[in-house]
């Protein structure tokens, strides 16, 4: 009986979670301009329409540049933090690492408003792509740390010590021995941070300047009913891209766990 209730709960939860995702491509290929059942017919015109919207292309380029920069900064910071937390002991280690991971549990609206006040009122800086990058790096770095910490924890420290004993410098041992071993974790964390930054809306909405990101552009188009089908088509493409990137990231994460001989405690998919 308990198993039956658990099965019902799981099915209900999955329907609630994935039904909106299933409806997105359904309406994207619907020839009607009204998002309602019954569907009018099959069409790809909304996807073709996306190729002629210059504002969309600019927003997409902005999002890609911001996501690439954010992912790079987050991974570099994540490597430093994960390396320090797994390799060295220092005063207030637990509180410091806990403070770094706080953005994982803070509501994004609180982070966005706080960053807006700091950027505009405290530093007097104009809103631009760099303010969005700073905000995205703040929320993406904890994800990179979580993935890279798992990768660094599975390493055998004797490998690095052996390299040093054979005449290699500490930096050389880290570059030539440690980094290749954790490279799947680096790739996975980079892809996860890229996806998070590419899809993030709230912080981008508050911190973007005259050049919006793709999610902000999509939100602006929802005010015009005639443009909603094209938005549905764009959302379908973003969903597909996110699933592909997350699948690749999960592949590299599991590859990293297998390489260092660690225990897989669960992944993204």
Question: How confident is the model at residue 30, as a pLDDT?
Answer: 84
Scanning 118-168, the segments in alpha helix (DSSP H) are 129-153, 157-165
For the chain, the structural domain boundaries read: 1-43, 47-260
Query: Cα dist. 39→28, 30, 171, 188, 212 in Å?
Result: 11, 6, 61, 39, 32
Q: CA geometry: angle at 134 spanning 128 and 138, to 5°?
A: 150
For 72-113, the pLDDT digits (tens) are 999 999 999 999 888 888 888 888 888 889 988 888 899 999
Locus of tokens 């927003």: 59
Q: Which of 80, 29, 7 is nearest to 237 (CA)?
A: 29
DSSP 122: I
Question: How confident is the model at residue 61, as a pLDDT?
Answer: 93
**Pair 136, 198: CB distance under 8 Å:** no
Distance of CA 89 to the CA centre of its chain: 30
Q: Which of 234, 218, 226 is nearest to 35 (CA)?
A: 226
* Measured distance CA(241)–CA(139) in Å, rounded: 21
For 235-265, the pLDDT digits (tens) are 888 888 888 888 887 787 677 666 655 555 4
| Beta pairing partners, 236 | none
**Pair 253, 184: CB distance under 8 Å:** yes
- The matching CATH number, chosen from 3.30.420.40, 1.10.3720.10, 3.40.50.970, 3.30.870.10, for 47-260 is 1.10.3720.10
DSSP 177: I
pLDDT (tens, 9 = 90+) of the chain, 269 residues, equals 556 788 888 888 888 877 777 888 888 888 877 777 777 888 888 888 888 888 888 999 999 999 999 999 999 999 999 998 888 888 888 888 888 899 888 888 999 999 999 999 888 889 999 999 999 999 999 999 998 998 888 777 777 777 777 777 778 888 888 888 888 889 889 999 999 999 899 999 999 988 899 899 989 888 887 788 888 888 888 888 888 888 887 787 677 666 655 555 455 55
* Measured distance CA(122)–CA(24) in Å, rounded: 41
Question: How confident is the model at residue 248, as a pLDDT?
Answer: 83
| CA-only gyration radius of the chain, Å | 22
Query: Does the predicted TM-score (pTM) go above 0.85?
Result: no
């Amino acid at each position: 009986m308990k198993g039956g209730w658990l099965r019902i709960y799981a099915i209900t939860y999955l329907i609630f979670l994935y039904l909106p995702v299933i409806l997105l491509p359904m309406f994207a290929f619907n020839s009607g301009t009204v998002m309602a059942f019954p569907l009018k017919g099959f069409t790809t015109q909304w996807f073709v329409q996306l190729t002629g919207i210059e504002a969309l292309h600019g927003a997409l380029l902005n999002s890609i540049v911001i996501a690439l920069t954010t992912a790079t900064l987050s991974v570099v910071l994540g490597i430093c933090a994960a390396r320090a937390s797994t390799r060295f002991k220092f005063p207030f280690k637990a509180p410091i690492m806990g403070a770094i991971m706080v953005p994982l549990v803070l509501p994004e609206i609180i982070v966005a408003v706080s960053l807006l006040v700091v950027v505009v009122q405290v530093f007097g800086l104009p809103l631009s792509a760099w303010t969005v990058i700073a905000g995205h790096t703040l929320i993406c770095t904890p994800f990179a740390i979580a993935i890279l910490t798992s990768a660094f924890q599975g390493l055998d420290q004797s490998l690095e010590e052996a390299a040093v004993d054979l005449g290699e410098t500490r930096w050389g041992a880290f570059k030539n021995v440690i980094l290749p071993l954790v490279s799947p974790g680096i790739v996975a964390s980079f892809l996860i941070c890229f996806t998070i930054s590419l899809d993030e809306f709230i912080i981008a909405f508050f911190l973007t300047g005259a050049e919006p990101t793709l999610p902000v552009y999509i939100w602006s188009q929802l005010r015009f009913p005639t443009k909603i089908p094209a938005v549905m088509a764009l959302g379908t493409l973003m969903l597909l891209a996110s699933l592909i990137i997350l699948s690749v990231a999960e592949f590299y994460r599991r590859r990293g766990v297998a390489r260092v001989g660690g225990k897989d405690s669960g992944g993204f998919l």
